[in-house]
Amino acid sequence: MLSRFSGLFAGRWGQAYAGFSVFILIAVLAVLLFNVVYNGTQVISGSFSKGEFFTAGDKAGMLYAIIGTLALTLFTVVLMVPSGVLFAVYLAEYAPDNYFTAFLKLLIANLAGVPSIVLGMFGLGFFVFFLGDFTDNLLGLKNVFGKPSILWAAVTLAFLNLPTVILTSYESLKNIPESVRLSAYSLGATREQMFFRTLLPQARPGIITGIILAVARTMGETAPILFLGVVFFMPEIPVTEISFGLFPVPLINPLEQFMALPYTIFILATQSTVPGENVNIEYMPTLILLLLTIAANLLAIKFRYRYEKAIGKLR
Protein backbone atom coordinates (compact mmCIF):
# COMPACT_ATOMS: atom_id res chain seq x y z
CA MET A 1 0.00 0.00 0.00
CA LEU A 2 2.76 2.43 0.94
CA SER A 3 4.71 1.71 -2.23
CA ARG A 4 1.54 2.21 -4.32
CA PHE A 5 0.85 5.56 -2.61
CA SER A 6 4.45 6.73 -3.03
CA GLY A 7 4.37 5.68 -6.67
CA LEU A 8 1.14 7.63 -7.22
CA PHE A 9 2.60 10.72 -5.54
CA ALA A 10 5.85 10.44 -7.48
CA GLY A 11 3.87 10.10 -10.69
CA ARG A 12 0.60 12.01 -11.02
CA TRP A 13 0.73 14.12 -7.86
CA GLY A 14 4.43 14.79 -8.23
CA GLN A 15 3.95 16.12 -11.74
CA ALA A 16 1.05 18.29 -10.62
CA TYR A 17 3.05 19.72 -7.71
CA ALA A 18 6.05 20.40 -9.95
CA GLY A 19 3.86 22.10 -12.55
CA PHE A 20 2.15 24.24 -9.91
CA SER A 21 5.52 25.28 -8.46
CA VAL A 22 6.80 26.29 -11.90
CA PHE A 23 3.60 28.26 -12.55
CA ILE A 24 3.90 30.17 -9.26
CA LEU A 25 7.56 30.93 -9.93
CA ILE A 26 6.88 32.21 -13.45
CA ALA A 27 3.88 34.26 -12.26
CA VAL A 28 5.84 35.97 -9.47
CA LEU A 29 8.76 36.67 -11.83
CA ALA A 30 6.40 38.06 -14.48
CA VAL A 31 4.73 40.40 -11.96
CA LEU A 32 8.09 41.67 -10.72
CA LEU A 33 9.40 42.24 -14.24
CA PHE A 34 6.20 43.96 -15.35
CA ASN A 35 6.24 46.23 -12.30
CA VAL A 36 9.86 47.29 -12.84
CA VAL A 37 9.58 47.62 -16.62
CA TYR A 38 6.29 49.53 -16.59
CA ASN A 39 7.23 52.00 -13.88
CA GLY A 40 10.80 52.34 -15.13
CA THR A 41 9.73 53.17 -18.68
CA GLN A 42 7.30 55.78 -17.35
CA VAL A 43 10.11 57.57 -15.51
CA ILE A 44 12.56 57.22 -18.41
CA SER A 45 10.05 58.56 -20.95
CA GLY A 46 9.50 61.59 -18.71
CA SER A 47 13.25 62.10 -18.40
CA PHE A 48 13.69 61.84 -22.15
CA SER A 49 11.03 64.48 -22.70
CA LYS A 50 12.91 66.83 -20.36
CA GLY A 51 16.31 65.93 -21.80
CA GLU A 52 17.50 64.80 -18.36
CA PHE A 53 18.08 61.06 -18.79
CA PHE A 54 21.62 61.22 -20.18
CA THR A 55 22.73 64.09 -17.97
CA ALA A 56 24.64 64.57 -14.75
CA GLY A 57 23.21 63.69 -11.36
CA ASP A 58 22.08 67.24 -10.59
CA LYS A 59 19.53 66.87 -13.42
CA ALA A 60 18.29 63.50 -12.11
CA GLY A 61 20.08 61.76 -14.97
CA MET A 62 21.66 58.33 -14.94
CA LEU A 63 24.59 58.92 -17.29
CA TYR A 64 27.32 59.13 -14.66
CA ALA A 65 25.91 56.16 -12.74
CA ILE A 66 25.82 54.05 -15.91
CA ILE A 67 29.38 55.03 -16.83
CA GLY A 68 30.58 54.36 -13.28
CA THR A 69 28.94 50.92 -13.22
CA LEU A 70 30.43 49.95 -16.59
CA ALA A 71 33.87 51.29 -15.63
CA LEU A 72 33.84 49.41 -12.32
CA THR A 73 32.79 46.24 -14.13
CA LEU A 74 35.54 46.67 -16.74
CA PHE A 75 38.26 47.19 -14.12
CA THR A 76 36.98 44.18 -12.19
CA VAL A 77 37.01 41.96 -15.29
CA VAL A 78 40.58 42.98 -16.14
CA LEU A 79 41.70 41.93 -12.65
CA MET A 80 39.43 38.91 -12.20
CA VAL A 81 39.44 36.96 -15.45
CA PRO A 82 43.16 36.31 -16.10
CA SER A 83 43.94 35.41 -12.49
CA GLY A 84 40.80 33.29 -12.05
CA VAL A 85 41.18 31.28 -15.26
CA LEU A 86 44.93 30.74 -14.81
CA PHE A 87 44.40 29.58 -11.22
CA ALA A 88 41.74 27.13 -12.41
CA VAL A 89 44.09 25.82 -15.09
CA TYR A 90 46.77 25.28 -12.46
CA LEU A 91 44.39 23.38 -10.18
CA ALA A 92 42.97 21.23 -12.97
CA GLU A 93 46.07 20.44 -15.01
CA TYR A 94 49.26 21.15 -13.08
CA ALA A 95 48.63 21.00 -9.32
CA PRO A 96 49.72 17.74 -7.64
CA ASP A 97 47.07 15.73 -5.85
CA ASN A 98 48.16 16.44 -2.27
CA TYR A 99 46.95 18.10 0.93
CA PHE A 100 48.01 21.57 -0.18
CA THR A 101 45.89 21.38 -3.33
CA ALA A 102 42.95 20.11 -1.30
CA PHE A 103 43.45 23.02 1.10
CA LEU A 104 43.40 25.50 -1.81
CA LYS A 105 40.13 24.05 -3.10
CA LEU A 106 38.61 24.25 0.38
CA LEU A 107 39.80 27.84 0.73
CA ILE A 108 38.20 28.83 -2.58
CA ALA A 109 34.93 27.14 -1.67
CA ASN A 110 34.84 28.94 1.69
CA LEU A 111 35.69 32.27 0.05
CA ALA A 112 32.61 31.87 -2.13
CA GLY A 113 30.47 31.86 1.02
CA VAL A 114 31.93 34.97 2.66
CA PRO A 115 29.32 37.77 2.90
CA SER A 116 30.03 40.58 0.48
CA ILE A 117 29.89 43.24 3.18
CA VAL A 118 32.69 41.44 5.05
CA LEU A 119 34.86 41.59 1.94
CA GLY A 120 33.99 45.27 1.67
CA MET A 121 35.35 45.89 5.16
CA PHE A 122 38.40 43.79 4.29
CA GLY A 123 38.96 45.89 1.18
CA LEU A 124 38.79 49.10 3.18
CA GLY A 125 41.14 47.87 5.89
CA PHE A 126 43.69 45.99 3.80
CA PHE A 127 43.70 47.57 0.35
CA VAL A 128 42.98 51.19 1.27
CA PHE A 129 44.46 51.69 4.74
CA PHE A 130 47.34 49.20 4.51
CA LEU A 131 48.32 48.65 0.89
CA GLY A 132 47.29 52.12 -0.30
CA ASP A 133 49.11 53.95 2.51
CA PHE A 134 52.15 51.73 2.01
CA THR A 135 52.21 52.58 -1.71
CA ASP A 136 51.89 56.30 -0.97
CA ASN A 137 54.78 56.18 1.49
CA LEU A 138 56.89 54.12 -0.89
CA LEU A 139 56.39 56.54 -3.79
CA GLY A 140 56.47 59.70 -1.69
CA LEU A 141 52.84 60.56 -2.46
CA LYS A 142 50.09 61.90 -0.25
CA ASN A 143 46.58 60.48 -0.25
CA VAL A 144 46.72 59.14 -3.81
CA PHE A 145 46.44 55.38 -3.30
CA GLY A 146 45.50 55.51 0.37
CA LYS A 147 41.88 56.53 -0.16
CA PRO A 148 38.70 54.77 -1.32
CA SER A 149 38.53 54.70 -5.10
CA ILE A 150 37.25 52.72 -8.05
CA LEU A 151 40.58 50.86 -8.17
CA TRP A 152 40.19 49.35 -4.70
CA ALA A 153 36.49 48.72 -5.32
CA ALA A 154 37.42 46.74 -8.44
CA VAL A 155 40.11 44.78 -6.60
CA THR A 156 37.66 43.89 -3.83
CA LEU A 157 34.94 42.85 -6.29
CA ALA A 158 37.52 40.77 -8.15
CA PHE A 159 38.26 38.89 -4.92
CA LEU A 160 34.53 38.51 -4.33
CA ASN A 161 33.91 36.93 -7.74
CA LEU A 162 37.13 34.96 -8.11
CA PRO A 163 35.58 31.77 -6.64
CA THR A 164 32.85 31.83 -9.30
CA VAL A 165 35.36 32.12 -12.14
CA ILE A 166 37.78 29.60 -10.62
CA LEU A 167 35.17 26.96 -9.78
CA THR A 168 33.31 27.15 -13.12
CA SER A 169 36.57 27.06 -15.07
CA TYR A 170 37.91 24.21 -12.94
CA GLU A 171 34.75 22.13 -13.34
CA SER A 172 34.69 22.79 -17.09
CA LEU A 173 38.23 21.45 -17.41
CA LYS A 174 37.77 18.47 -15.09
CA ASN A 175 34.56 17.39 -16.84
CA ILE A 176 36.49 16.72 -20.05
CA PRO A 177 37.13 12.96 -20.24
CA GLU A 178 40.67 11.77 -19.62
CA SER A 179 40.51 9.93 -22.95
CA VAL A 180 40.61 13.30 -24.73
CA ARG A 181 43.94 14.11 -23.10
CA LEU A 182 45.35 10.65 -23.84
CA SER A 183 44.24 10.86 -27.47
CA ALA A 184 46.04 14.18 -27.90
CA TYR A 185 49.20 12.77 -26.33
CA SER A 186 49.03 9.68 -28.53
CA LEU A 187 49.05 11.92 -31.61
CA GLY A 188 52.29 13.52 -30.45
CA ALA A 189 50.91 16.72 -28.94
CA THR A 190 52.85 18.45 -26.20
CA ARG A 191 51.16 19.38 -22.95
CA GLU A 192 50.72 22.98 -24.08
CA GLN A 193 49.34 21.92 -27.48
CA MET A 194 46.98 19.47 -25.81
CA PHE A 195 45.66 22.19 -23.52
CA PHE A 196 45.30 25.08 -25.95
CA ARG A 197 44.07 23.09 -28.97
CA THR A 198 42.05 20.34 -27.32
CA LEU A 199 40.99 21.13 -23.76
CA LEU A 200 40.47 24.88 -23.92
CA PRO A 201 38.03 24.84 -26.89
CA GLN A 202 35.88 22.25 -25.12
CA ALA A 203 35.99 24.03 -21.76
CA ARG A 204 35.43 27.49 -23.24
CA PRO A 205 31.60 27.52 -22.96
CA GLY A 206 31.71 26.84 -19.22
CA ILE A 207 34.55 29.30 -18.66
CA ILE A 208 32.78 32.10 -20.54
CA THR A 209 29.51 31.39 -18.74
CA GLY A 210 31.20 31.65 -15.35
CA ILE A 211 32.90 34.91 -16.34
CA ILE A 212 29.71 36.57 -17.54
CA LEU A 213 27.74 35.40 -14.50
CA ALA A 214 30.46 36.95 -12.34
CA VAL A 215 30.15 40.14 -14.40
CA ALA A 216 26.40 40.22 -13.82
CA ARG A 217 26.97 39.85 -10.08
CA THR A 218 29.58 42.60 -10.15
CA MET A 219 27.10 45.02 -11.69
CA GLY A 220 24.60 44.47 -8.89
CA GLU A 221 26.85 44.44 -5.83
CA THR A 222 26.17 47.23 -3.34
CA ALA A 223 27.57 46.26 0.06
CA PRO A 224 31.30 46.11 -0.84
CA ILE A 225 31.38 49.45 -2.65
CA LEU A 226 29.74 51.25 0.28
CA PHE A 227 33.19 51.44 1.90
CA LEU A 228 35.25 51.91 -1.24
CA GLY A 229 34.56 55.26 -2.83
CA VAL A 230 31.06 55.16 -4.30
CA VAL A 231 29.10 58.41 -4.10
CA PHE A 232 25.55 59.48 -4.93
CA PHE A 233 26.47 62.60 -6.88
CA MET A 234 29.49 63.80 -8.83
CA PRO A 235 29.66 67.13 -10.70
CA GLU A 236 31.82 65.53 -13.38
CA ILE A 237 33.51 62.25 -14.27
CA PRO A 238 37.19 62.16 -13.21
CA VAL A 239 39.06 61.54 -16.45
CA THR A 240 42.76 61.10 -17.07
CA GLU A 241 44.56 60.70 -20.38
CA ILE A 242 46.98 57.97 -21.40
CA SER A 243 49.16 58.88 -24.35
CA PHE A 244 49.91 56.30 -27.04
CA GLY A 245 52.33 58.25 -29.20
CA LEU A 246 50.43 61.16 -30.70
CA PHE A 247 47.01 59.84 -29.68
CA PRO A 248 45.91 60.57 -26.09
CA VAL A 249 43.21 58.17 -24.90
CA PRO A 250 40.79 59.40 -22.21
CA LEU A 251 40.27 56.97 -19.34
CA ILE A 252 38.28 57.17 -16.13
CA ASN A 253 40.72 57.88 -13.33
CA PRO A 254 40.85 54.68 -11.25
CA LEU A 255 42.17 56.58 -8.22
CA GLU A 256 39.03 58.71 -7.78
CA GLN A 257 35.51 58.15 -6.50
CA PHE A 258 32.68 56.97 -8.74
CA MET A 259 28.93 56.64 -9.11
CA ALA A 260 27.14 53.29 -9.50
CA LEU A 261 23.58 52.21 -10.22
CA PRO A 262 23.17 49.88 -7.18
CA TYR A 263 24.25 52.63 -4.80
CA THR A 264 21.92 55.12 -6.52
CA ILE A 265 19.01 52.74 -5.91
CA PHE A 266 20.08 52.29 -2.29
CA ILE A 267 20.23 56.04 -1.60
CA LEU A 268 16.92 56.77 -3.31
CA ALA A 269 15.27 53.98 -1.31
CA THR A 270 16.69 54.80 2.13
CA GLN A 271 17.68 58.46 2.37
CA SER A 272 14.42 60.24 1.57
CA THR A 273 12.89 62.31 4.37
CA VAL A 274 9.40 61.37 3.17
CA PRO A 275 8.77 57.61 2.91
CA GLY A 276 7.85 56.63 -0.62
CA GLU A 277 8.73 60.03 -2.08
CA ASN A 278 11.37 58.65 -4.45
CA VAL A 279 9.61 55.40 -5.35
CA ASN A 280 8.95 56.43 -8.95
CA ILE A 281 12.51 57.65 -9.48
CA GLU A 282 13.91 54.42 -8.02
CA TYR A 283 12.45 52.43 -10.88
CA MET A 284 14.67 54.18 -13.43
CA PRO A 285 18.08 52.92 -12.17
CA THR A 286 16.46 49.61 -11.24
CA LEU A 287 15.28 49.06 -14.81
CA ILE A 288 18.66 50.05 -16.25
CA LEU A 289 20.50 47.68 -13.91
CA LEU A 290 18.02 44.91 -14.70
CA LEU A 291 18.54 45.39 -18.43
CA LEU A 292 22.33 45.32 -18.05
CA THR A 293 22.12 42.11 -16.00
CA ILE A 294 19.74 40.44 -18.46
CA ALA A 295 22.02 41.46 -21.33
CA ALA A 296 25.00 39.85 -19.59
CA ASN A 297 23.08 36.62 -19.02
CA LEU A 298 21.79 36.52 -22.61
CA LEU A 299 25.34 37.03 -23.78
CA ALA A 300 26.42 34.06 -21.67
CA ILE A 301 23.69 31.89 -23.19
CA LYS A 302 24.66 32.98 -26.72
CA PHE A 303 28.36 32.25 -26.24
CA ARG A 304 27.64 28.91 -24.61
CA TYR A 305 25.29 27.83 -27.39
CA ARG A 306 27.70 28.93 -30.13
CA TYR A 307 30.71 27.13 -28.68
CA GLU A 308 28.73 24.00 -27.80
CA LYS A 309 27.46 23.92 -31.38
CA ALA A 310 31.00 24.31 -32.72
CA ILE A 311 32.27 21.55 -30.44
CA GLY A 312 29.38 19.31 -31.54
CA LYS A 313 30.42 19.71 -35.17
CA LEU A 314 34.01 18.80 -34.34
CA ARG A 315 32.83 15.62 -32.67
- DSSP string of 70-97, one letter each residue: HHHHHHHHHHHHHHHHHHHHIIIIIS-S
Quote the number of domains for the chain. Answer: 2
Q: Tell whether 143 and 83 lie within a shared domain.
A: yes
Q: Tell whether 72 and 148 lie within a shared domain.
A: yes
Q: Tell whether 142 and 6 lie within a shared domain.
A: no
Q: Tell whether 25 and 155 lie within a shared domain.
A: no
CA angle 305, 27, 292 (to 5 degrees): 45
Q: Tell whether 7 and 135 lie within a shared domain.
A: no
Q: Tell whether 62 and 39 lie within a shared domain.
A: no
Alpha-carbon 3 to chain mean position = 47
The H or E element containing residue 247 is strand 247-252
Cα–Cα distances in Å, from 85 out to 153, 177, 203, 315?
Answer: 21, 19, 11, 25
Q: Tell whether 104 and 134 lie within a shared domain.
A: yes
Q: Tell whether 132 and 165 lie within a shared domain.
A: yes
Separation of first and last alpha carbons in the chain: 49
Q: Tell whether 41 and 180 lie within a shared domain.
A: no
Domain span at residue 90 reads 56-314
Q: Tell whether 37 and 119 lie within a shared domain.
A: no
pTM of the model as a whole: 0.83
Q: Tell whether 77 and 170 lie within a shared domain.
A: yes
- Render each residue's pLDDT in the chain as its tens digit; 315 residues: 445 555 555 567 777 778 888 889 899 888 888 888 877 777 766 655 555 555 555 555 678 888 899 999 999 999 999 999 999 989 988 888 888 888 988 888 888 888 899 999 999 999 999 999 999 999 888 888 989 999 999 999 999 999 999 999 999 888 888 888 888 888 888 888 888 888 888 888 888 888 888 898 899 888 899 999 898 888 778 887 777 666 777 788 888 899 899 998 888 878 766 555 556 677 888 888 888 888 887 877 777 777 666 656 555
Q: Tell whether 120 and 154 lie within a shared domain.
A: yes
